[in-house]
Structure 1
Amino acid sequence: MGKDFFIDIMTYVLTIIGILNPFGNVPLFMTLTKDQDPEIRKKMYNIIVVSGFGIVTGFIVAGDFFMNYLYKVGMDELRVAGGMILIVVAFRNLLGLGVSKESSGNIMSEKDAIRYAITPLTFPMLVGPGTISTVMIIHKEAGLIISVGAVAVTFLVMKFLFTISDWLDKVLGEVVLFVLSRVMQIFIMSAGVKLVANGIKGIFMK
């Protein structure tokens, strides 16, 4: 493993970071989980990192098989499905729906929090069709070791950002996080609408 190997990994890390946008998503996830117990919140962050890495790595290794042969779906169908999830979740959050009986206000039970961390926080908000298609292309260009290495470094960056989230909390402040949590629901819904629109467009243009 020479100098070129690490240069290749860092080049692809920058590409994946550009798609995942951890510097924008971590503050967003902080606003969406601000009402949770600190221990549950920390567990949600860990689940986001681990499940995100698992999903991306899984698509690197077996994405072609699952999408092209097992389920016979393409990126456009994935865009529509992911977009619909985002629209429904944002709509429920804006109207205060979907709170479990075990919860009080916006506080979720540990079980609900884990589910919420996986869907929609990890997929499709963090790991969406754009990320999946990007890493699958990187795999074809650079091979398994470099693509998985680049993904691992990217999620280590996200893990670091989550680690300093308490400090970011103090910098941003509770009021700012509250306002962002409400405003972001509109943008999340808009992103979902865009995913669905692009997916439908792609399906009918085939």
Structure 2
Amino acid sequence: MDSGTINEYLKFFIALLAIVNPVGMLPIFINMTTSQDDRTRNRNGSMAALSMGIILVVVLFSGEAILRFFGISVDSFRVGGGILILLMAISMLNAKISNVKQTKEEELDSAERDSVAVVPLGTPLLAGPGAISTVILYAQRHDSAMHYLSMCVVIVLLVFLTALLFRLAPTITQLLGRTGINIVTRLMGLIMAAMGVEFIAHGLRQLFPVLGG
């Protein structure tokens, strides 16, 4: 695997990390598990990360079939996905969670759940529309088995990193504080904004070749 290919999957990892934003999810995770002991909270954190990984891997292998079923071209989806990511990025730049991930009604509903590992933590907070769109779009770049295997490896790495951050959630939140977490969220939002613009621009150039000069 050459350096260009490695950089491509590194970019995919950073893109997913920015969208999932596990550091920004830590206060929400602690709030949802505040009445649980350490063992139960760690188990829920691991389950949330695992469910996120399973959802993203399923989307990785079924995304093309979904687009084909609805008759959606990759370029149209790229523009739509870019707009979605850009809207999420704007919320993150304001250190807020986008309504695309969770509405107020869903937040109230999650407060009444006994188990929050799969829903809403695993999805839609971690494996939300933005992460799903990103996986589908990156999957369309190549059709080789090695490409899909490499993307699976990236997703698995993200799962382990997310589970580790959730396990260390109390310590990290104490060290960073609300301000530190907001700064990380805004940085992730900036990366997401640039990525959303890139998706939109590339999709529009393919849909309207005249825009490419």
**How high is the sequence identity, in percent, across the aligned residues?**
13
Match of 1:74 in 2: 73
| Counterpart selection for 1:173 from 150, 173, 177 | 177
Is this contact kept in 1: 2:9–2:154, CA < 8 A? yes
CA distance in 2, matches of 1:38, 1:155: 19
Counterpart residue type for residue 60 of structure 1: L
Gaps of 5+ in 1: 5-9
Aligned pairs for 1:95-134 (under 5 A) are 98-100=103-105, 103=108, 109-110=111-112, 114-115=119-120, 118-119=123-124, 121-129=126-134, 131-134=135-138
Pairwise CA distance, 1:57: 1.5
CA shift, 1:168, in A, is 1.2
| Structure 2 unaligned residues grouped into runs of 5+ | none
- The residue identity in structure 1 corresponding to 2:91 is A
CA RMSD, aligned part only? 4.9
Residues of 2 paired with 1:186 and 1:23: CA distance? 8
The TM-score normalised by the length of structure 2 is: 0.57
Partner of 2:33: 38
Q: Take 2:207 and 2:107, find their aligned partners in 1: how far apart are those partners?
A: 41
2:31 is the alignment partner of 1:27:
no
Match among 164, 167, 177 for residue 163 of structure 1 = 167
- Alpha-carbon distance change, 40 to 102 in structure 1, aligned in 2, over 3 angstroms: same
Amino acid at match of 1:75: V
Please give the per-residue CA displacement for 1:129-149, whole angstroms capped at 9, x wherever unaligned: 2x3333455661417666545
Displacement of 1:39 in angstroms is 4.9
Which of 181, 197, 213 does residue 194 from structure 1 map onto? 197
Number of residues of Structure 1 aligned to a counterpart in Structure 2: 189
Given the two structures, how large is their TM-score scaled by the length of structure 1? Answer: 0.58
For residue 36 of structure 1, give the secondary structure of its aligned residue in structure 2: helix
